[in-house]
Amino acid sequence: MISAIILTFNESKHLRRCIESLSPVCSRILVIDSFSTDDTCDIARELGAEVFQHKWINNYAAQLNWGIDHAKVSTPWTLRMDADEYLTPELQQEILLRLPGLPKEVGGVVLPRRVVFKSKTIHHGGFYPQWLLRIWRTGTGHCEERMMDEHMVVSSGAVVKFRHVLVDENLNDIHWWTTKHNNYARREAADLLNIELGLFHQDDISHGGGNAQASRKRWIKENIYSKLPLGVRPALYFLYRFVILGGFLDHPRVWIFHFLQGFWYRLIVDVNVWEFRRQVGKADPEEQRSFLAEEWKILG
């Protein structure tokens, strides 16, 4: 009935939980691994998953689309998961009960995602629920080719929402989290620079197959946030998220998340934008693209 695709690199801490949550609803579980150096692949095979390995080229969409193209999914439906996510029992039951009865004109299913940080659920700050297209009719879905904030898109059919949640709970320590986001910062900076300079073509979810929440956030980013002064916009965004959207109502442990993800990370992004402008801001577009590819290792 449904096959799941999971991208992995050194995910031994999360993968068992993820696969065990998928097993009740999936006939195939396909792990697309970027040559892990831990026992990720062993865990996957032990739990009955099929493992495909493909070199990571610093592009999530390219890796996921490679998996979609090469895993030879033959079930009617495909599901995308991250290794640190899992299905709740309520969502498992909803998938089993509702998916077989969806009419043919439905091409995709949007799920609400709940994020848990340091064992505390994030309820406020505009962070819950996050609506994500995660299930699609096999053969109709692909991941947007973008530098950041990639979403699944279906080429045909309507999109419906399911009620019960997918949970994102990463168990790594804060050093891992900040290192990951420091690496993300250059991709986010490149995305903002692309809005300003038009260096690369990027897919756009608003042109079909996505969801209204993602389209709205992207419109705000492109038409409001990107035009605010460097350094000012992270502060304004954090205040909006923490005060106006009620992030302060979350558990104090979650305040760390709101500050790091809502201010610190976006300030690092702005510093990267400033450094790019200082180094190649007056260069021609080809030199700027070369800088992103050679110095930042970002391919447009």
Co-location of 70 and 178 in the same domain: no
- Domain around 270: 174-294
Q: 238 in a domain, yes or no?
A: yes
Cis peptide before 234 (omega within 30 of 0): no
Residue 30 to residue 138: CA distance in whole angstroms: 14
Q: How far is CA 20 from the centre of its chain?
A: 21
Q: What is the pLDDT of residues 218-242, one digit of tens each?
A: 889 999 999 999 999 999 999 999 9
| pLDDT score of 211 | 66
Chain-wide mean pLDDT for the chain? 93
Q: 283 in a domain, yes or no?
A: yes
Domain boundary among 57, 83, 109: 83
Q: What is the pLDDT of residues 255-272, one digit of tens each?
A: 999 999 999 999 999 999
Residue 223 to residue 214: CA distance in whole angstroms: 14
Long-range pairs for 242-249: beta carbons < 8 A, 24 or more residues apart: 242/125, 245/124, 245/125, 245/126, 246/124, 246/125, 247/124, 247/125, 247/127, 248/124, 249/123, 249/124
What's the structural domain count of the chain? 2
CB distance 172 to 93 below 8 Å? no
Spatial neighbors of 281 by CB under 8 A, at least 6 apart, are none
Residue 8, domain CATH: 3.90.550.10
Domain boundary among 62, 83, 104: 83
Q: 108 in a domain, yes or no?
A: no
Co-location of 186 and 290 in the same domain: yes
Q: 101 in a domain, yes or no?
A: no
Q: 193 in a domain, yes or no?
A: yes
Q: 157 in a domain, yes or no?
A: no
Quote the DSSP letter at residue 199.
Answer: -
Spatial neighbors of 230 by CB under 8 A, at least 6 apart, are 270, 273, 274
Domain boundary among 23, 49, 83: 83
Q: 191 in a domain, yes or no?
A: yes
Co-location of 77 and 184 in the same domain: no
Q: 53 in a domain, yes or no?
A: yes
CB distance 225 to 262 below 8 Å? no
259 burial via Cβ count (<10 Å: 0-12, 13-18, 19+): middle
Q: What is the pLDDT of residues 9-59, one digit of tens each?
A: 999 999 999 999 999 999 999 999 999 999 999 999 999 999 999 999 878
**Of 235, 214, 233, 241, the residue nearest 273 (C-alpha):** 233
Question: Which of the four pLDDT bands, split at 50, 70 and 90, describes residue 202?
Answer: confident
Question: Which of the four pLDDT bands, split at 50, 70 and 90, describes residue 156?
Answer: confident
Question: Which of the four pLDDT bands, split at 50, 70 and 90, describes residue 206?
Answer: low
pLDDT at 169 > cutoff 90: yes
Full DSSP string of 45-59: HHTT-EEEE----S-
